[in-house]
Structure 1
């Protein structure tokens, strides 16, 4: 047995805790807080079903295409954020936890055009684009370890978790006006989703003769899916308000 149970349990516990918090943060990214397409949606936190006036309508209410002024081409600015956190001696002496996140905010590009006497729009949406790298390391002099390997001088334990998610939609929107007040529209999106995650657990011992004993475990997976998403929208103009409906 290379390591005692306490050291192994500590490293596994830290890795499991980091994994849980990482997945919770990803799970929140389907909400309107994270998915805001178009300037109006960003200002109103996604509450634009009956009032969207830009290409965000392809996602929120395709029927609003009949209310949109001519738009040759529009694009939301692509923005990224990098976050780096480092904690030292949090889980014991000579331990270090670091988390590096490189994320892209939801964005879209697209345009409108007329064909066969009706309005169409095409759009490209990036819903999720995240890249996270979490590391935990601890090092201890060999005489402080209760292990069966003889003549050890130094121990290094490390846990690494990498996770990457990317979700992109490509769509076509059509809308038609029925009378002066009612509009009906539909958006058809093709989606490409990819989720990659992997972890590396390693234990390293340095011995008195400068040789090294190493145990390493690498686990990972990749999930890919492709599909179609349909959004049916309706819009009704009142004198002082617009009423919108979106069915996905």
Structure 2
């Protein structure tokens, strides 16, 4: 038995290594975990009796009767992100990805106390990747006619690469107080790794042999890792076919981490505010710092109904806001060289990494229909609102977030059961748009100010994703349950 258990656990770990994951960088509900939980779009706070409750509601763990390993290895998904006019007209950011969806590996620990259940889980709530390149060129009156009479040729190019990954490790337990009520608690440690880089360049070819070239090069880079801890308290109540659940999750406690923030800007024959003459100069700074990342307080409430013919679930969750702070908090230092060109602009401003979150409220609805003892059909949907705080764009420094659009998810599928095993299939669709997307560095109107400074521009961003889910669950059943499953 021990060899079989270790073999299955080995398969779980192989799946964890093999499956790349997907998510959004300013959303809490993009990914769902566990086969049935994913098919119900997370509308399971009211409780389902498998070990995914260690994540959704540890209070329901007290009613689990089986020791199980659950693998949610989902198949391929195609994602498209389009940010229109990222640099100017017809210069869009387009990012397309093919990858697989979240995996959950977890299980229960055997205890002699039937009222107390302990479980563990490994999952990835976020795995976001975005790469975009945009270029524009043309002829227009960019420089003033005194320095360069007539129209000038100009060219601009920008690129962004962003990667964000999180791994969550959970250890929790539930205690069955009575035949109707149980409570539980999950300890959650989250590891976060962020890598972000942005480059931007623009040049104007002046109609003046003494001036020749006016231009700017800029680059920003942020890399960090961070560990944080939070605790989730869950309560679960069951009466007949009805089940209710409530969870409260604490704000995170920063455990530590470090990272590097770097910024560079090079000006050639440029005009800046407060100076009449054109200047050539360089701004550059880099600092290695400790990291801080915060998760908010959240509360979730859910109800589930289940009889012999059908079931449904409703779940709502509120996430509190987080005031703006720096993930990497830089120290004052020289940035512009020669320093007298812009003494007020120092490294602390240029290297700051503002982060924050607005409050979010999400809703999930799920329906399941039991055709027979072996086959169940599912249809579900959920909102997934972005917590992006636009105020971070006005704080200066390096803004690393890409997504700001609200998402909507639809899922349909089925589950086939045989003994202690079940296999699930599903179709997934996600979509969203932001008609007021704030894009930095746009030069739709080519002026010297726009070319040589970061100009914020309101544009449109769209996201869409199609996927196919495959999930497998295996339960180690006791003898009585094995007979019932036959």
Structure 1 SS opposite 2:68: coil
CA-CA distance at 1:52 after TM superposition: 2.0
How many Å separate the matches in 2 of 1:114 and 1:160?
Answer: 52
Q: Deviations over 1:189-234 (max 9, x none)?
A: 1111223322101235789xxxx99742101223432111211112
How do 1:1-248 and structure 2 match up within 5 A? 26-27=25-26, 29-30=27-28, 32=29, 34-79=30-75, 80-83=77-80, 85=82, 91-92=88-89, 95-102=90-97, 105-117=101-113, 118-140=116-138, 144=140, 146=142, 155-203=154-202, 215-248=216-249
| Structure 1 unaligned regions, length at least 5 | 1-24
Structure 2 SS opposite 1:170: strand
Q: Deviations over 1:30-55 (max 9, x none)?
A: 1x3x2422223223322211222223
Q: Deviations over 1:92-141 (max 9, x none)?
A: 4xx43232154764432111121353422110010010101122201236
CA-CA distance at 1:154 after TM superposition: 6.3
- Verify the 8 A CA contact 1:177 1:183 in the aligned structure 2: yes
- Verify the 8 A CA contact 2:237 2:243 in the aligned structure 1: yes
CA-CA distance at 1:65 after TM superposition: 1.7
How many Å separate the matches in 2 of 1:54 and 1:206?
Answer: 66
- Verify the 8 A CA contact 1:101 1:131 in the aligned structure 2: no
Q: Quick check: which one's helix share is greater?
A: 1
- Verify the 8 A CA contact 2:134 2:159 in the aligned structure 1: yes
How many Å separate the matches in 1 of 2:36 and 2:100?
Answer: 19
| Structure 2 unaligned regions, length at least 5 | 1-23, 207-212, 250-486
How many Å separate the matches in 1 of 2:36 and 2:195?
Answer: 33
- Verify the 8 A CA contact 1:173 1:186 in the aligned structure 2: yes
Q: Deviations over 1:121-175 (max 9, x none)?
A: 110010010101122201236xx564568xxx96431011222211221011212
How many Å separate the matches in 2 of 1:120 and 1:155?
Answer: 64
CA-CA distance at 1:85 after TM superposition: 4.8
Cα RMSD (Å): 3.4
- Verify the 8 A CA contact 1:104 1:128 in the aligned structure 2: no
How many Å separate the matches in 2 of 1:176 and 1:86?
Answer: 49
How many Å separate the matches in 2 of 1:26 and 1:187?
Answer: 24
Structure 1 SS opposite 2:25: helix
